[in-house]
Chain A
C-alpha cells in the first residue's frame, strides 16, 4: 500500500501552509514573524513552513509553562494519569495519520512508524499514566516516635531538546515522565523535524491543560541556549551529540540544576558461532538481527553498527546476511513495502558519504553498497538516499569508532569470548549492544561484561516501555523509558516528624 504524501489530494494528513509555535494551549506566531521551510527528505521538496523562533518565543513558552505549573503540579496522580491516558487515546485514534506525517518528514519507512514509532508513543503515555498512579511515598520509623516521610514533588518547568531520528517517540520519552511527575515542559524539536510534533499537538490539544506542554521550533543556535541556559527551567534533558551534550551540562552546572543527556553510541552486535548450529528460525532471526543496522536508515543512537562475528562462521553467516541486505527494498517511505527510506537531511547524507570515504582510505573493504542510491520515481531524484552498506575492517578504524548515523555497517571477526568482549568494549561509547547465542551462560556473561546501558540478548531494536535505556561512558547520563524516570523529574521531600513530647535537653 502506498500512502499519499501529506498535503496532496487524497492524503490522510492535512497540511497548513504554515505552523506556529504551540504555547499555552494556543498557536502563537513567532515574535519576529519569521518562518523556515520544512523539507521532505524523500524529495527534498517543501512540506510546510514552521516558526523560526527567537529567544523571545522561548520566554513566552516559559511564561505559559510557569502559569500552568502550580495547578498541574497539585493535580492528583489520578487526574494526571487521566490526561496521559487521554493523550494516548487521541494519538491512537490518529495513529495512521501521525505515522504518515512522521514518515514523510523524517524519511523513515511508514512500515516502521505504523508498527513501532506511533504504537510505542501511545504505550509510553499509558505506561507513565500507570506509573504515576502506582507511585507511593515511603516512610520509615527512624526510632520510636521519630518518622521520616518521603514524598516526590515536581521540579516545576523543565526544558527538553530532542533529536530528529524519532521525532514523536523521543518527544514521548521525554514528555510522558515529565508530565507524570507533575512538571510542565517546554520542548524544542530538532531542526530537520519540527512539523510532525506539531501535528501531534493538534491531535492532543483538546485533552491537554493549557501550558502543560509548549513546543517552540527553530534552530538550536538561536533558541537552544535560550531554553537550556534559562534560569526559569528546573531541569534540562537532551538527546544529541557529545559537544552540545557537554554544553547542556555546562549550562545546567551554571544554573545548579539537574540535567540528563543521551549522546549516542557505537553499538556492537555480537554473533557467536553457535547461532549457525542449526539452520532454523533462530538463525533467521539472527540474520535479521544483523540487518537491523538498516532500521530507521541507521539513524538510531543504538544502531548496531559494529557487527562482531566469530571467525569460524564468518564466511557463511556473512554471505547469508549480505544476501538479505541485497534484497532490501529502498524507495518511497510512504510505501508499506519500502524497508529503507532517505536519510533525514543533506547534512546527514554528506556525513555518511564522507565516512565511507574515510573507511575506504583506511583500508576497509566495501562488501556491499558504498554510494548514494537512486530509487525508482522521478519525484525521488533529489532525495537523500544512501545504499545499505557494509564495510569489513578492523575495530581500530574510524568507521568502527564513530557513529555514522546511516545505513553503514562495520564488520569484523573475533576468535573467542574474551576477544569478543575486548572488541565490544573498545569504544568510547556504551549505549547499546547485542549478543546472539544459543548458550544462556555465555549470553549472561557477555551481557554483564559489556559496558553498555542496554544489552539486547537474542533480539535487537526493541524499545518497550519498562526497559530502561541510557548510556555508560560518554554515551550519557541518566535513563529513559522506565519508571525510574520519575526520579529524574522529581524532587524528594522529606518530612522528619517527631511524635515525642520530650525536649532534647541540650538548651
Chain B
C-alpha cells in the first residue's frame, strides 16, 4: 500500500467491538457512528445503519472499527481538541435515533486518558494525511 499508514483517532474497547459484531450480525451489514453534541443525548455517538446519515464536507473521519466508520463534525472536533477517542458501551438505552449497543446498553465515547476500561484494541487506518476528507 503506497499511502501512508496513520493511526486511527478512534479505537474501541472489547465490549464495543463485541457490540458492533452483534449489531452487524443482527442487521446483516455494517453500522456507522457520528459523534453528537448539544441537547439531551449530545456528547454520545449516534449509531446508524451505514449510509443512513449523509456525511458532508464538514465531517471528519476519525477511523473505522471493524469496517464501521466513525465521524465527527469538524467544528465539534476543533472545540473538543481531543486527539484520541475511545468507543465503549455503557448501561442505559440510547436516546434519539441511535441504535442500541445491546440490551439496555448504548455506545459512548471516552477520552482514553480518562478511561478506566481495559486497553483498547488499536486499529490502523489507511488514509491520506488530510483527515478532514472522509
Contacts of B95 in A (CB 8 A): 164, 190-192, 220, 240-241, 345, 347
Which of B48, B73, B82, B91 is the one whose CB lies under 8 Å from A346?
B91
Interface residues of B in 60-97 (CB under 8 A from A): 73, 75-76, 79-82, 90-97
Query: Mind listing 9 A-B residue pairs with CB under 8 Å?
Result: A219-B93, A239-B39, A244-B97, A264-B39, A265-B38, A350-B108, A398-B80, A403-B38, A405-B40
Interface string of A206-231 (1 = CB under 8 A from B): 00000000000001110011001000
Interface residues of A in 348-375 (CB under 8 A from B): 348, 350-351, 354-355, 357-358, 361
Q: Does B35 contact A (CB under 8 A)?
A: yes
Q: Does A196 contact B (CB under 8 A)?
A: no
Q: Does A71 contact B (CB under 8 A)?
A: no
Interface residues of B in 32-53 (CB under 8 A from A): 34-44, 46, 48, 52-53
The answer to whether A241 and B76 touch across the interface, beta carbons within 8 angstroms, is no
The answer to whether A241 and B82 touch across the interface, beta carbons within 8 angstroms, is no
Q: Does A247 contact B (CB under 8 A)?
A: yes
Q: Does B106 contact A (CB under 8 A)?
A: yes
Interface size class of B (residues with CB under 8 A): 35 or more
* Chain A residue at minimal CB-CB distance from B73: A242
Which B residues contact A (CB, under 8 angstroms)? Answer: 34-44, 46, 48, 52-54, 73, 75-76, 79-82, 90-100, 106, 108, 110-111, 113-114
Min CB distance, A475 to chain B, in Å?
7
Contacts of B44 in A (CB 8 A): 241, 347, 351
The answer to whether A221 and B41 touch across the interface, beta carbons within 8 angstroms, is no
Cα distance A316–B2 when bound, in Å?
62
The answer to whether A241 and B96 touch across the interface, beta carbons within 8 angstroms, is yes
Interface residues of A in 404-448 (CB under 8 A from B): 404-405, 427-429
The answer to whether A403 and B79 touch across the interface, beta carbons within 8 angstroms, is no
The answer to whether B100 and A429 touch across the interface, beta carbons within 8 angstroms, is no
Min CB distance, A238 to chain B, in Å?
9
Which of A247, A354, A404, A427 is the one whose CB lies under 8 Å from B110?
A354
Q: Does A393 contact B (CB under 8 A)?
A: no
The answer to whether A242 and B37 touch across the interface, beta carbons within 8 angstroms, is yes
Instruction: Given the known inter-chain contacts A242-B42, A265-B38, A361-B111, please indicate yes or no for A350 contacting B92, CB distance below 8 A.
Output: yes
Contacts of B40 in A (CB 8 A): 163-165, 190, 239-241, 264, 299, 301, 405
Which A residues contact B (CB, under 8 angstroms)? Answer: 163-165, 190-192, 219-221, 224-225, 228, 239-247, 250, 262-265, 299, 301, 345-348, 350-351, 354-355, 357-358, 361, 396, 398, 401-405, 427-429, 474-475
The answer to whether A354 and B108 touch across the interface, beta carbons within 8 angstroms, is yes
- Chain B interface, >50% SS class: loop
Contacts of A164 in B (CB 8 A): 40, 95
Name the residue in B54, B82, B96, B98 with the highest tally of chain A Cβ atoms < 10 Å from its Cβ: B96
The answer to whether A355 and B90 touch across the interface, beta carbons within 8 angstroms, is no
The answer to whether A241 and B52 touch across the interface, beta carbons within 8 angstroms, is no
The answer to whether A224 and B96 touch across the interface, beta carbons within 8 angstroms, is yes
* Chain B residue at minimal CB-CB distance from A352: B43
The answer to whether B53 and A250 touch across the interface, beta carbons within 8 angstroms, is yes
Cα distance A299–B109 when bound, in Å?
20
Cα distance A165–B54 when bound, in Å?
28
The answer to whether A243 and B35 touch across the interface, beta carbons within 8 angstroms, is yes
Query: Could you list 8 further interchain pairs (A-B, Cβ under 8 angstroms) beyond the known A163-B39, A301-B39?
Result: A165-B39, A190-B95, A224-B96, A241-B40, A345-B93, A361-B113, A401-B79, A428-B37
Cα distance A299–B40 when bound, in Å?
7
Min CB distance, B7 to chain A, in Å?
21
Contacts of B48 in A (CB 8 A): 247
Cα distance A358–B43 when bound, in Å?
12
The answer to whether B39 and A240 touch across the interface, beta carbons within 8 angstroms, is yes
Instruction: Given the known inter-chain contacts A220-B98, A225-B97, please indicate yes or no for A263 contacting B39, CB distance below 8 A.
Output: yes
Cα distance A74–B38 when bound, in Å?
39
Contacts of B98 in A (CB 8 A): 220-221, 244
The answer to whether B42 and A264 touch across the interface, beta carbons within 8 angstroms, is yes
Cα distance A427–B79 when bound, in Å?
8
Contacts of B113 in A (CB 8 A): 361
Cα distance A246–B98 when bound, in Å?
13
The answer to whether A347 and B106 touch across the interface, beta carbons within 8 angstroms, is yes
The answer to whether B34 and A221 touch across the interface, beta carbons within 8 angstroms, is no
Instruction: Given the known inter-chain contacts A242-B73, A404-B43, please indicate yes or no for A474 contacting B38, CB distance below 8 A.
Output: yes
The answer to whether B42 and A221 touch across the interface, beta carbons within 8 angstroms, is no
